[in-house]
Amino acid sequence: MKQSGSGTAAKRMTEIRVAWPHGLHEDRPGKPTSGGVWFPDTPENRRDLTIIVESGCEACGPDSHWIEEREA
Protein backbone atom coordinates (compact mmCIF):
# COMPACT_ATOMS: atom_id res chain seq x y z
CA MET A 1 0.00 0.00 0.00
CA LYS A 2 1.14 3.50 -0.73
CA GLN A 3 1.20 6.18 1.94
CA SER A 4 0.57 9.88 1.45
CA GLY A 5 3.18 11.72 -0.56
CA SER A 6 3.78 15.43 -0.80
CA GLY A 7 1.42 16.62 -3.51
CA THR A 8 0.39 20.12 -4.40
CA ALA A 9 -3.03 19.31 -5.83
CA ALA A 10 -5.76 21.79 -4.91
CA LYS A 11 -8.60 19.25 -4.78
CA ARG A 12 -9.63 17.66 -1.50
CA MET A 13 -8.07 14.32 -0.79
CA THR A 14 -9.69 11.50 1.13
CA GLU A 15 -7.81 9.06 3.33
CA ILE A 16 -8.96 5.61 4.40
CA ARG A 17 -8.00 3.10 7.06
CA VAL A 18 -9.21 -0.13 8.61
CA ALA A 19 -11.17 0.51 11.81
CA TRP A 20 -12.64 -1.72 14.53
CA PRO A 21 -14.40 -1.30 17.89
CA HIS A 22 -12.17 0.34 20.50
CA GLY A 23 -10.26 -2.32 22.42
CA LEU A 24 -10.67 -5.16 19.92
CA HIS A 25 -6.95 -4.86 19.12
CA GLU A 26 -4.00 -3.43 21.06
CA ASP A 27 -0.78 -1.74 19.97
CA ARG A 28 2.63 -3.13 20.98
CA PRO A 29 2.64 -1.60 24.49
CA GLY A 30 -0.83 -3.08 25.06
CA LYS A 31 -2.84 0.14 24.65
CA PRO A 32 -6.31 -0.46 23.10
CA THR A 33 -6.69 0.93 19.57
CA SER A 34 -9.61 1.54 17.23
CA GLY A 35 -7.96 1.89 13.82
CA GLY A 36 -4.90 1.49 11.68
CA VAL A 37 -2.69 3.79 9.61
CA TRP A 38 -4.32 6.28 7.23
CA PHE A 39 -3.68 5.84 3.48
CA PRO A 40 -4.69 7.91 0.43
CA ASP A 41 -8.01 6.67 -0.96
CA THR A 42 -6.79 5.11 -4.19
CA PRO A 43 -8.31 2.09 -5.95
CA GLU A 44 -5.23 0.02 -5.01
CA ASN A 45 -5.32 1.00 -1.32
CA ARG A 46 -9.10 0.53 -1.10
CA ARG A 47 -8.76 -2.96 -2.62
CA ASP A 48 -6.01 -3.90 -0.15
CA LEU A 49 -7.88 -2.54 2.87
CA THR A 50 -11.09 -4.30 1.76
CA ILE A 51 -9.20 -7.60 1.83
CA ILE A 52 -7.95 -6.79 5.35
CA VAL A 53 -11.49 -5.89 6.48
CA GLU A 54 -12.85 -9.15 5.08
CA SER A 55 -10.14 -11.12 6.91
CA GLY A 56 -10.80 -9.24 10.16
CA CYS A 57 -14.53 -9.90 9.95
CA GLU A 58 -13.87 -13.55 9.24
CA ALA A 59 -11.63 -13.84 12.32
CA CYS A 60 -13.56 -11.60 14.76
CA GLY A 61 -17.15 -11.69 13.52
CA PRO A 62 -19.42 -9.85 11.10
CA ASP A 63 -19.11 -6.05 11.07
CA SER A 64 -16.11 -6.17 13.44
CA HIS A 65 -13.94 -4.28 10.94
CA TRP A 66 -14.75 -1.58 8.39
CA ILE A 67 -13.14 1.08 6.21
CA GLU A 68 -13.17 4.53 7.79
CA GLU A 69 -12.79 7.71 5.67
CA ARG A 70 -11.65 11.27 6.41
CA GLU A 71 -10.68 14.36 4.47
CA ALA A 72 -6.93 14.84 4.43
Question: Contact 37/48 with Cβ under 8 angstroms?
Answer: no
Q: Would 62 be classed as within a structural domain?
A: yes
The model's pLDDT over 20-69, given as tens digits with 9 standing for 90+, comes to 999 888 888 999 989 999 999 999 999 999 999 999 999 999 999 999 99
Residue 56 lies in domain: 14-71
pLDDT of 8 strictly over 80: no
Q: Would 8 be classed as within a structural domain?
A: no
The Cα–Cα gap between 64 and 55 comes to 10
Looking at residue 60, its pLDDT comes to 95
Phi/psi at 17 (5° precision): -155, 165
Give alpha helix (H) positions in the chain: 43-60
Looking at residue 63, its pLDDT comes to 96
Question: Residue 5 — very low, low, confident or very high, per pLDDT cuts 50/70/90?
Answer: low
Tally of structural domains, the chain: 1
70 forms beta bridges with 15
